[in-house]
Structures are given as structure tokens and as C-alpha cells.
Amino acid sequence: MANIAFIGLGNMGSPMAINLVKAGHQVCVFDLADEAVSKVVAAGAVTKKTAAECVQNAQFIISMLPAGKHVDAVYLTEKTGLINYIEPNSLVIDSSTIDAATSCKVAQALAQKKIGFVDAPVSGGVGGAVAGTLSFMVGGSLAEFEQASPILEAMGKNIFHAGEHGAGQIAKACNNMLLSILMIGTSEALQLGMANGLDPKVLSNIMSKSSGSNWTLDVYNPCPDVMDNVPSSNNYQGGFMVDLMAKDLGLAMETALASHSSTPLGALARSLYAMHANTGNGSKDFSSIFNVFNLPSK
């Protein structure tokens, strides 16, 4: 069992840290929100007054932070950044979803102090974090990937080695850009069929068994009452928020700009999700984009 420092106890970070505790690891947690800390400590973790103290004896440092600027600041701030406190040969696992450039910058800085790093963003949402069934897309050397894997297995079930530093972030950006396209395309197709008299359950069944098959149609249907236990059948509550999809699409677009890539459907998906968020739907599940294509009721 390992000594692990866990920085960032939001909706995702808290259950992830608890799963590490359950797996028998020694976990020292830190967050600015006392309430979040208390909850994880109640589950068996310890805490310290500062993140710096948390990381000092840790073999693994896991961070789950909102954006690249936070990751940069937490690790690399001159004098107070964690880079000054983490011990050589330990491994930083950053599970934040951020831009690959920041991942690479942090990895390089840590490497100069002989500290390992992997970027390991997740998919699977809060449900997957609680259930310990997250997917991790990992960027780092093969050695770093193998070092990280046993720890990640306590929190997830699919651990992918995407490539070198930053590749985990790139893989997640690509996947979520594609996911947004699947969701909008499925919504358009279902609405087009319904507008022309088809039953959405019948059409979903047909397309799902044909070449229109995709994750959003098959297991996360955006049309209310086609499936049970999906956000669309629960007023688009729960699931993966529009604001988070908009954020991930922003990262995908930054990636596309940097590589001069042409992504017409991805770019349009980003604008449609931004429009949807800007009209008051930011906290709904991302399948609510279905409603953008409603016809007027007769």
C-alpha cells in the first residue's frame, strides 16, 4: 500500500480519494473547502494544514483541479509550489482535465527534480468516480504509466496508455469532441424522424442496430422516455453538465488551433454548446442539446 497525497476534493476528487482509502492506501488530502476535507477524513483519510505538508512523504501525489492555471500554480509557483516539497522518485498523477501544453510544462519542470509525472484525465462522471469505474487516459513514459496503474486501478476500470506527456489530455479532448458530435448528430436524427412521424423508440432501435449506432444513441439516449435511468428521462438532471462539455470543447478547439487542424463539425458543436449554455442550460445534462432541435408544438 502506498502513501498518497490528494489535492482537490470537488465532486470528482472526493469520491476518488475515498476509493483510494477503501483500497487500503494511506491518503493525506487537501482542499481549501473544509467541508469537503471533513467528509473524506471521515472516510479514513488524514489531512494537513497545507498541501505542502501533505506531499512531503507521499510516494504519489494526485491532483484534481479545475483548469490549467490552477495546476500550473499549485505545482510551479516560485518558492511555494509543490515542486519544492515533493520528494524525488515520487510520481505526480494529474487527473485534472486541462490543456496538454500545461501538462507538458509541469512534467518537464518536475523531471528536473527527478519527480515523475503523468497526465491522467478521466471520463465516467461523478457516478463513475463513486463506483470506482472511471476511465483514465494516461500520458507519460511507459515506466511512469506502469508506476501509476496500480494506484489508478483503485479508482477506475479502464486504464489507457495514450502516449507521452500530454497525450492523455489530447486523447480526452479528441474523445469528448467526438462525443459532442455524436450527441448532437443523434439529437438531429431523432428529431428529424419525429418531425416526420416516427416513434423515437422505434427509430432509436433501428439506428442502434444499424450503422447509426453510437454511444449516445445506445446507452444515453437524449430523447425523453426512450430509456430509463438516463438524464433525458429525468428532466436532464444529473449526468455530464453542458458547462463541462463546453469547457472540454474549448480545450479541443485550442488543441485544433495549435496544430492548424480543420474540425468543422467539432467547431460547430462547440458553438452550439456555447449557445446552449448561454441560454440558461449550463447546469443541465449535455443531452439537453436535444431540445435545441424541437419543433413548435402544434
Active site residues: 172
Closer to its own copies at the Cβ: 53 or 153? Answer: 153
Q: How far is the CB of 244 from its own copies (least distance, A)?
A: 13
Closer to its own copies at the Cβ: 153 or 164? Answer: 164
* Cβ proximity of 168 and 120 under 8 Å: yes
Please give the distance of CA 260 from its chain centroid, rounded to a whole number: 24
* Cβ proximity of 40 and 62 under 8 Å: no
Residue 147 DSSP code? H
How would you classify the pairing of strands 91-94 and 60-63? parallel
**Cell numbers that stand for 251 in this block:** 480545450
DSSP-assigned letters across all residues of 19-54: HHHHTT-EEEEE-S-HHHHHHHHHTT-EE-SSHHHH
Closer to its own copies at the Cβ: 101 or 109? Answer: 101
**Cell numbers that stand for 178 in this block:** 467526438
Q: How far is the CB of 272 from its own copies (least distance, A)?
A: 7
Q: In this structure, which amino acid lies at residue 259?
A: S
Q: How far is the CB of 279 from its own copies (least distance, A)?
A: 8
| Beta-bridge partners for 28 | 5, 46
Q: How far is the CB of 84 from its own copies (least distance, A)?
A: 21
Q: How far apart are CA 261 and CA 247, in angstroms?
A: 19
Closer to its own copies at the Cβ: 147 or 204? Answer: 204
* Cβ proximity of 220 and 245 under 8 Å: no
**Plot region of 260 (φ>0 → left; ψ -120 to 50 → alpha; else → beta):** left
Q: How far is the CB of 68 from its own copies (least distance, A)?
A: 13
Closer to its own copies at the Cβ: 1 or 257? Answer: 257
